[in-house]
Chain A
Amino acid sequence: MMISKIIFILIFSLYFCNEFTSVLGADRSKFKTCSESGFCRRNRNIKGKPNKWVLDPTTVQPSDNKLGFEAILKNELNGVLLRLTINAALKDSSVLHVRINEAHPGRERYDPREALVENIEYGKINIGKPTDKDVTLTFGPADASHKVLIAFNPFRVDIFTGDRLVVSANAREFLKFEHFRQKRENVPEEEKLEEEEDGGWEETFKSFVDSKPYGPMSVGMDFSFVGFDHVYGLPEHADSFALKNTRDETDPYRFYNVDIFEYELNNGMALYGAIPFMAAHSEDYSVGLLWLNPSETWVDIESSNQGVRGLFSHLVSGEVKSRLTHWFSETGLIDVWIMLGPTPLDVMRQNGKITGTLELPPYYAIGYHQCRWNYFSQEELNEVERQFDANDLPLDVLWLDIEYTEGRSKKYFTWDPVMFSDPKGLITNLTSKGRQLVAIIDPHIKKDTNYPIYNEAVQNNYFIKNKDGNDYEGYCWPGPALYPDFLNPAVREWWSSKFNPEFFPGFTDGNVGIWNDMNEPSVFNGPEMSAPRDVVHMNGIEHRDIHNMYGFLVTKATYKGLTTFAPNRRPFILTRSFFAGSQRYAMVWTGDNMAKWEHLKMSIPMILSLGISGMAFSGADAPGFFYDPESTELVVRWYQAAAFQPFYRAHAHLDTKHREPYLYDEETKNLIRLATRARYSYLPYIYTLFYEASINGTPIMRPVWLHFPKDAKAFNLEEEYLLGDSLLIRPVLDKGVSSVNVYFPGEGESWLGIEDDTIYQGGSSADIHVTLDSIPRFQRAGSIIVKRERMRRSCSLSLGDPMTLQIFLDAEERHAEGKLYLDDGSSYNYKSGGYILAEVIYDKMVLTYRIIHGSFPTNSWLERVVIHRISNKPSKIEATNGANLSFKYNPTSQTLIIRKPSLMMGDSWQIKLS
C-alpha cells in the first residue's frame, strides 16, 4: 500500500517536472553531463591520481622549421612518448604555440589547421642551455621579450613576459594523453586501466551506443593564469560574461555543438557553436588562450589565492589571485595558442592574426533585418516590404526561412513554383530599393530520388557514412535526410557549385545572402540531436574528431559558392554553428532564444563573449524567437537594445503571432522607428568599427575593460558595454524601470549623455532616469563620432548622403579625435584601394579631416558639426576653401553647431575656429 503510494507520487512528480521543463527550458536529459561522459569523468578526476610526465633533456632540439623548440615527453607509468613542439607565432612572436602529439602515433589524429589562417608567420625562439632540471626559451622583440621556463621532472611550462609570470601549463600535472592502442581482450579486472573500464571502447547514452572503434583517445591539460582574477570568452554559452568557477560547483563549460531546444540560461551547457578561446585579464596584463580542438571539449575553472605557499611559490612573490583552468577533449591533439598581450586589444589582434578576422560585410548587413518563420509567398514578402515603406520604417533585408522550398519540402536550392514563381522578380523588387533577400540553405539533404542534389551526392559518395560504410541517414526538417561530408574539399567544391544562378535561379550577381542553419549538424533522431560520433568522414576520420567544426566547414563551402559566382560582391552568410575561425566566412546569431526579459538581458554577455573571441559580428533575435512577447514594453526594449548590437534582426517562431513592427500600436511603432533611426544615424561609425574589426580583430561591441583595462570596477559589467571606443551603451533591460544604474569608466574621464546632454565623471556610477524612449548612451570625452542624420528607407541608399560630426571635447576643451572608413559598401574594390580611411582631429580650435589611406569617389559632404563642451563662443569659423561658415552657439549647454560647411568627405580639409 505504502509502496504503491510512493510510486504514484514519484510518477506524478516526474510527469510534472517534464511538463515544467518543456515550458521553461531545454530538456536537459537529452544532453550529456560530465558524469555521463567517460572521458570527462576520467579527465576531471585526474587530480590526485598517479600521473607523471617527464621531459627527456637529451631530446631537446630545434623544431622542424628550425625556429622553434622540440623535445620528447615520457609518461613514467606506461612509457608512452609524446612530442612537444613550442613555436613563437607572428612577426612579433607575440603568440606562443604549444603542440603535443604522440611521438609515434598509431592512428593519425585530426589536425584542425583549416580553422586557422594560412601561412602563419613564426619568429625565432632561442633555446638556452639546458640545466639538469630545466631549460629556458627566449623570444620576442627587445621591448616585449618573452621567456618560457620548461621544467623536466615533472614536466611543466611557465610562461613569462618580461619578468611577469602569466601562464603556467601543467603546473597541476593534469596533462593526460590517452595514446592510441589496440583493444585488449580478456584483461583481468585488476590489470584494467581506468580508460578501459570507463566506457573506453564503447559508451551508451540514452538508447544510443557509441562504438568507439579506436578506443580512448582523450587529451587534457591544465593552464593557470597567474595573477589574473578574471577570465572571459568560451563562447557559446548562455552564461555570465565574466566566467564562473565550475570546479566543485557545477559541470565544466562544455563545447559540443548541438541544436538545443529552448536553451536554459546561466549555465555552461553546450549550445550551437564552439570557440575554445579564453581571455584572462587583470589590471596590469591580458593574455589569451586558444585550445584548438574540434572534438567535444570541456573547460573546468577554479580560483586560487596561492602564491608564496602554492603552485607558483618559486616564481612569484606574495599572494596572487589566479584562475586555474583545465581543458580536455575527446580526441585530437593538444594544440594551444597563447596570446601574450600585453593589452586586451593586443590579445584580440593576436587572436585575429591566428584565427582570422571578419571580412568587411556588405553595408546592408548592418541595417535592419526582418525575418520570420515563415513568409510563405513572394506576395507576402512584397506586402511586408510595402508595409515597412508605408509606415516609414527603415528596412534593409528580408529573410526566407525553410518554407520557400518546392512544396515546402526543404529541398534547398529550389523555389516553390507556386508561392515563389518569380524569384528573380522578387529579388529585383528588393534590390531596386537598395534592399536584399537572405534565403536559408541548410546542410541536411532530403532523401528523395527526385532531388538532383541527393542523387548527385549519393552517386559521388558525398554523404557521411555509418561505421558500416553505408550512407548515414538521419531525420531533420525534410524527414529522412543525409549529411554531406563537408570535411571533403571535393564535397565543398560541389556544394559551392550549387550557388550557380543557372542552377539556383535568383542568385544573379550575388543578390541573395545565405543563412546556414541546423549545421551543428542537427539530427532530430540522433544522440544529443546531432550525428553519432562514430559516423565516418573522408579518410576514415570519425565525426567525433571534427564535430565542432562541421558548421565551420559548411559556411566555408557556402562562402566559396557565393564568391565564385559573384566574385566582386561581398557575401553575407549567417550561421548558427561555428568554430574558431568561422568569422572569416560567416557571422552568427545566438540561436533560438525566447521572447523573455531574461533572454534580452543574456544577449549582451553572449555577444560580448563572441566578440572578444574573434566573432565580432553577431546578434540575438529581437524580440526573442520562441513565444509571443508578454508586452510591447519588452518588444520596445529589445529593439532598442538590438539597435546597438552588431546584428539587428527581428525574427519569430512559426507558432507566434505576427509581429512585424508595423503591426503594433502607433506608440510602439514609433518607438521602434526611433530605435532603428538611432542605429542608422550611427552607421558610418559602426561601419568604421567593422573595418577595424576586419583589420585588427577587435570586437564591434566591446567589454568596458577593453578600453579601460586598469579600471577593476569595469571587470564584471555586463549590462553596459562600449560600441567601439567612443560610445558607452546601457540599454534598458528590465521591466517597468524608471532609472538604470550606469558605471562611467575611467578615473579622470568624462562622458556626455546623448539623451540628457549631461556630463558624467569617470570612475563613478549614476542612476540615469529613463522613459520608454530611452536608449541610454554616452559619448567619451575627446572623441569624434561620424554620423548620418538623414534617414533613408534602407541604409544602402544613404551611402552618398551628407554627414554630421558629433564632437565631445576633452576636459581641457582642446582635443578630440575619431575615424571614418568609407567605401561602396558592396564590392571588393576596397581591396585595391577603393576606399577612404580618414582621421578627424579637433585640436586647439582647428578641425582637421585628413584622408590617410585610399581614395574613393563619394558624394558625401559635411552638413553639420556639433561640438560639445566649448565654453567660449567663437567669433568666426572659416573653412579651408575660404568660406565663412554660419553657426549657432548655446552658452547654457556650451554647444556649438556649425551649419552646412558643405565640405566633401572625399577630400581632406580644415575648419578653423577663432
Chain B
Amino acid sequence: MLLTGYLVSLLCYTVTWNWSSATQVLRPRGVALQKKIFYDPSKDFNCLDGSLKIPFVFVNDDYCDCADGSDEPGTPACPNGVFHCSNLGYQTWDIPSSRVNDGICDCCDGSDEYNSTINCVDNCSELGKEALEAARRLKELFSEGSKIRLNLIKDAKSKAEEDERRLEEFRKEMEKVENTKKEKEAIKKQAEEEEKAALDKFRAEADAQRKAQEEAEMIKIEEKEKLMAEAAFKELDKNSDGILSYQEVQQFIKFDQNNDGVVDPDEAKFFLHMKEEMSLDEFTTTGWIIMKPFYLKDKTPEPLQNDQAPSEQDADGDVEVEHPSYESDGETEDDVEDSSNNAEGEGEGEDEDHGPPYHSPKRPRPDTTVTEAPLPEYDAETLAIIEKAKQAKQEYSDAESKFLSLNNQIREIEASLEMDYGPEREFATLHGQCFEFSDREYIYKFCPFNTATQRSKSGGGETNLGTWGDWTGGDSDRYSRMRYENGVQCWNGPARSVEVYLKCGLNNALLSTSEPSRCEYRFEFETPALCRPENQSNSHEHTEL
C-alpha cells in the first residue's frame, strides 16, 4: 500500500483502479510489467534512450520531455510513446500512446480512455473466453487435421515406395528396350544403305537412258532446222551460185523491216550480218537464225515455231504477278501479332487463347520447277530391296517408341520423386487434382503443382494465371504459400501470377480468390496437409498473468 500514494499523486487525472484484482501490479499508467523497474518514484527518471534525466514528477504529467516518449507512457503527449494495455483476463498489447484518450477504445480493458468522451466497456474476459474457445476449436481442427495429414503422409510414402519400385522395374526393362533399339537400328541402317545403292543404280541407268533420248531429239531438231535453212537458201539463191548475195535478198519484199515498201541494201545486209554475201554453210549456222521469222512470214506455221512464240510473251507478262515481299514470313507474323494486340486491348480477361495463329491466304505460287518425267517402274530385284528396308524401318520405329514411352515414364516418376511435396511429402496427393472456386464473374481452377486458370462465366476460353513455380512461405513457414507464375501476359502489364495462401483445414478446398494488384492474384486454399502441430502454436499470444 505504500505505492498507492505515488500512483495517485503522479497521475494528473483521478482514476478508478481495479483494486479487487489480486494480479494488478502498481506502476505508472501505460507501463508494461517488465518495464516497471525503470519507473522508480524514489529517483529521477532517465529517459529510456538515455537522452535526458527528469524529476519523476514529470513522468505522465501530460508533457513530452523525452525524445523517445518514455516519460509519457500513459498520456498522448509524445508522438512516439507506447501505451501498454494490461487487458486482465485477456492478452496484453501495446498501442501508440497517441491513441490514449482519443475517444476510441483500443484496449479491451478500456484503460486507454481514462479521460475521454467515451465510456469503454471492459470486455477482456469476454474476449478471453472467446479466445479460449477459438483456441479450443483451433486445437480440435489441428488434431483432426493432423490425423488426416498423417494419412496423407502415409499415402505419399507408399506411393513414393511404389514409384521407387516401378522405377527400378522400368530401368531394368529399359536396358532391354535399349538393346533392341540398337539392334533394330543397325539392321535398319544396313537395309537403308542397300536400298540407297539399289535406287542409285536404278536412277543412274534411267538417267542415262533419258539423256540419250534427249540428245537424239536435239539432233533431230537441228537436222530439221538445217534442212529448212537449206531449202530457204535454195529458194533465195536465185542464181543458184551457192552464194546468197544481198541483192538476192532484196528481191523478197518480206525482208522490208521498216515497211517502206522497199528492201534497202542495209535491210538486206542485216540478214547477212552486214556482209555483202554468205555461203550456204555460214547461212545455216548464223544467217538463218536472224532471218527465220521474216522468212516464214508468208509460210504456213509449223508446230515447232508455235511452241516458241508464246513462251517469249510470258517473259514480260505473267511472271510479274508474283511479288516476293507478299510471301515473306516476317510479314505474316506481324499480322498475327497485330490481331492479338487488338484482342487484348478490348478488355480485361479476354486476351487469351487466340486459337491457331491466323495466316492470310497466300496467292498460289506459280510452279517454277520442271516436272520430272515419271521414272520407269522398278524391276523386281529393286522392289525386293525396297520392301526389306521398309520393314526394317518399321521395326526400328516400333522399338524407338517403346524406348521413348518408357523413358517418359521413368522421367515422370523421377520428377515426382524429386518434387518438393513438403517436408514429409504431405502435399503429394494434391498433385493431379484440381479445385474450383467461382465468384460472380469467373470460375477459378487450381491444380496444385500444375496450373491456375480462370475462365469467364459468360464464356470464352481459359486464361492461364500461372504454372507451378515454388514454395514462397519464407524461411519460417516455407510451405504455407505457393507461387504460380508466367501466366498469360496482361495487356500493358506483367505476366499473370498467383500466390496461393495455404491454411489448415479438414478438406482440400479453394476458399477464395482475389486480385490485389492487377494481374497478381491471391488464392486461399485449405488442406489437411498443413495441419502441422507446430503451426498451431503460432497463433498463441502472450497473456499477462
Q: How far is the CB of B108 from chain A (nearest CB, A)?
A: 16
- Cβ of A797 within 8 Å of any chain B Cβ, yes or no, is yes
Stretch at the interface among A107-115, A332-340, A652-660: A652-660
8 Å CB interface, A629-677 against B: 654-658, 677
A677 neighbours in B (Cβ, 8 Å):
79
B79 to A655, Cβ gap below 8 A? no
Contact status of A658 and B517, CB under 8 A, knowing A792-B98, A793-B99, A793-B102 = yes
A658 to B516 Cα, complex, angstroms = 8
- Cβ of A432 within 8 Å of any chain B Cβ, yes or no, is yes
B467-485 CB contact bits vs A (8 Å, 1 = yes)? 0000000000000000000
B102 to A797, Cβ gap below 8 A? yes
- Cβ of B30 within 8 Å of any chain A Cβ, yes or no, is no
- Cβ of B129 within 8 Å of any chain A Cβ, yes or no, is no
B518 to A655, Cβ gap below 8 A? yes
Chain A CB count within 10 A is highest, among B61, B64, B102, B520, for: B102
Chain A CB count within 10 A is highest, among B61, B78, B98, for: B98
Closest residue to A680 on the B side, CB-wise? B79
A792 neighbours in B (Cβ, 8 Å):
76, 98-99, 102
- Cβ of B96 within 8 Å of any chain A Cβ, yes or no, is yes
A790 neighbours in B (Cβ, 8 Å):
76-79, 98
A787-806 CB contact bits vs B (8 Å, 1 = yes)? 00111110001000100000
B79 neighbours in A (Cβ, 8 Å):
677, 789-791
A789 to B80 Cα, complex, angstroms = 11
Closest residue to B104 on the A side, CB-wise? A433
Closest residue to B65 on the A side, CB-wise? A899
A183 to B343 Cα, complex, angstroms = 48
A792 to B102 Cα, complex, angstroms = 8
A433 to B105 Cα, complex, angstroms = 10
B96 neighbours in A (Cβ, 8 Å):
392, 791
- Cβ of B493 within 8 Å of any chain A Cβ, yes or no, is yes
- Which residue of the partner chain, among A392, A434, A657, A900, contacts B63 with CB atoms under 8 Å? A900
A863 to B63 Cα, complex, angstroms = 7
- Cβ of A418 within 8 Å of any chain B Cβ, yes or no, is yes
A385-405 CB contact bits vs B (8 Å, 1 = yes)? 000000010000000000000
A141 to B531 Cα, complex, angstroms = 87
B64 neighbours in A (Cβ, 8 Å):
789
A864 to B78 Cα, complex, angstroms = 13
B128 neighbours in A (Cβ, 8 Å):
none
8 Å CB interface, A408-458 against B: 418, 432-434
B172-191 CB contact bits vs A (8 Å, 1 = yes)? 00000000000000000000
Q: How far is the CB of A794 from chain B (nearest CB, A)?
A: 9
B102 neighbours in A (Cβ, 8 Å):
434, 792-793, 797
Q: How far is the CB of B442 from chain A (nearest CB, A)?
A: 13
8 Å CB interface, B494-545 against A: 516-518, 520
A791 to B63, Cβ gap below 8 A? no
A433 neighbours in B (Cβ, 8 Å):
104
A899 to B63, Cβ gap below 8 A? yes
Q: How far is the CB of A221 from chain B (nearest CB, A)?
A: 46
B422 neighbours in A (Cβ, 8 Å):
none
A657 neighbours in B (Cβ, 8 Å):
517-518, 520
B517 to A801, Cβ gap below 8 A? no
- Which residue of the partner chain, among B61, B98, B103, B520, contacts A791 with CB atoms under 8 Å? B98
B98 to A793, Cβ gap below 8 A? yes
Interface size on B, residues (CB 8 A): 21
A677 to B493 Cα, complex, angstroms = 34
B520 neighbours in A (Cβ, 8 Å):
657
Contact status of A654 and B518, CB under 8 A, knowing A793-B98, A797-B103 = yes
Chain B CB count within 10 A is highest, among A655, A789, A790, for: A790
Closest residue to B490 on the A side, CB-wise? A655
- Cβ of B34 within 8 Å of any chain A Cβ, yes or no, is no
8 Å CB interface, B66-119 against A: 76-79, 96, 98-99, 102-104
A864 to B492 Cα, complex, angstroms = 54
Closest residue to A798 on the B side, CB-wise? B102
Q: How far is the CB of A150 from chain B (nearest CB, A)?
A: 60
Contact status of A801 and B76, CB under 8 A, knowing A655-B493, A793-B99, A863-B63 = yes
A793 neighbours in B (Cβ, 8 Å):
98-99, 102, 104
Q: How far is the CB of A806 from chain B (nearest CB, A)?
A: 15
- Cβ of B359 within 8 Å of any chain A Cβ, yes or no, is no
A793 to B99 Cα, complex, angstroms = 7
Closest residue to B96 on the A side, CB-wise? A392
B98 neighbours in A (Cβ, 8 Å):
392, 790-793
- Which residue of the partner chain, among A418, A658, A863, contacts B440 with CB atoms under 8 Å? A418
B99 neighbours in A (Cβ, 8 Å):
792-793
A655 to B520 Cα, complex, angstroms = 11
Q: How far is the CB of A658 from chain B (nearest CB, A)?
A: 5
B62 neighbours in A (Cβ, 8 Å):
863, 900
Q: How far is the CB of B28 from chain A (nearest CB, A)?
A: 18
Q: How far is the CB of A479 from chain B (nearest CB, A)?
A: 12
A791 neighbours in B (Cβ, 8 Å):
79, 96, 98
A863 to B493, Cβ gap below 8 A? no
A900 to B61 Cα, complex, angstroms = 10
Q: How far is the CB of B284 from chain A (nearest CB, A)?
A: 45
A656 to B517 Cα, complex, angstroms = 8
A392 to B61 Cα, complex, angstroms = 23
A797 neighbours in B (Cβ, 8 Å):
102-104
A900 to B76 Cα, complex, angstroms = 14
Closest residue to A673 on the B side, CB-wise? B79
A263 to B531 Cα, complex, angstroms = 54
A899 neighbours in B (Cβ, 8 Å):
63
A790 to B99 Cα, complex, angstroms = 10
Q: How far is the CB of B68 from chain A (nearest CB, A)?
A: 14
A851-894 CB contact bits vs B (8 Å, 1 = yes)? 00000000000011000000000000000000000000000000
Q: How far is the CB of A72 from chain B (nearest CB, A)?
A: 59
A432 to B104, Cβ gap below 8 A? yes
- Which residue of the partner chain, among A655, A789, A801, A863, contacts B492 with CB atoms under 8 Å? A655
Q: How far is the CB of A799 from chain B (nearest CB, A)?
A: 10
B516 neighbours in A (Cβ, 8 Å):
658
A789 neighbours in B (Cβ, 8 Å):
64, 79
Closest residue to B492 on the A side, CB-wise? A655
A864 neighbours in B (Cβ, 8 Å):
63
Q: How far is the CB of B112 from chain A (nearest CB, A)?
A: 12
Q: How far is the CB of A372 from chain B (nearest CB, A)?
A: 10
A654 to B96 Cα, complex, angstroms = 33
Closest residue to A653 on the B side, CB-wise? B518
Closest residue to B494 on the A side, CB-wise? A657
A900 neighbours in B (Cβ, 8 Å):
61-63
A253 to B518 Cα, complex, angstroms = 38
B493 neighbours in A (Cβ, 8 Å):
655
Q: How far is the CB of B438 from chain A (nearest CB, A)?
A: 13
Q: How far is the CB of B350 from chain A (nearest CB, A)?
A: 15
B407-441 CB contact bits vs A (8 Å, 1 = yes)? 00000000000000000000000000000000010
Closest residue to B102 on the A side, CB-wise? A797
A801 to B62 Cα, complex, angstroms = 11
B78 neighbours in A (Cβ, 8 Å):
790
Closest residue to B516 on the A side, CB-wise? A658
Q: How far is the CB of B82 from chain A (nearest CB, A)?
A: 10
8 Å CB interface, A774-817 against B: 789-793, 797, 801
Q: How far is the CB of A377 from chain B (nearest CB, A)?
A: 9
List, sorted by A's number, 27 A–B pairs whose CB atoms are closer than 8 Å.
A418-B440, A433-B104, A434-B102, A654-B518, A655-B518, A657-B518, A789-B64, A789-B79, A790-B76, A790-B77, A790-B98, A791-B79, A791-B96, A791-B98, A792-B76, A792-B98, A793-B98, A793-B99, A797-B102, A797-B103, A797-B104, A801-B76, A863-B62, A863-B63, A863-B77, A864-B63, A900-B63
Known contacts A677-B79, A797-B104; 15 additional CB pairs below 8 A are A392-B96, A418-B440, A433-B104, A655-B493, A656-B518, A657-B518, A789-B64, A790-B79, A792-B99, A792-B102, A793-B99, A793-B104, A797-B102, A864-B63, A900-B62
Closest 5 CB pairs of A and B: A791-B79, A791-B98, A900-B63, A797-B102, A658-B517
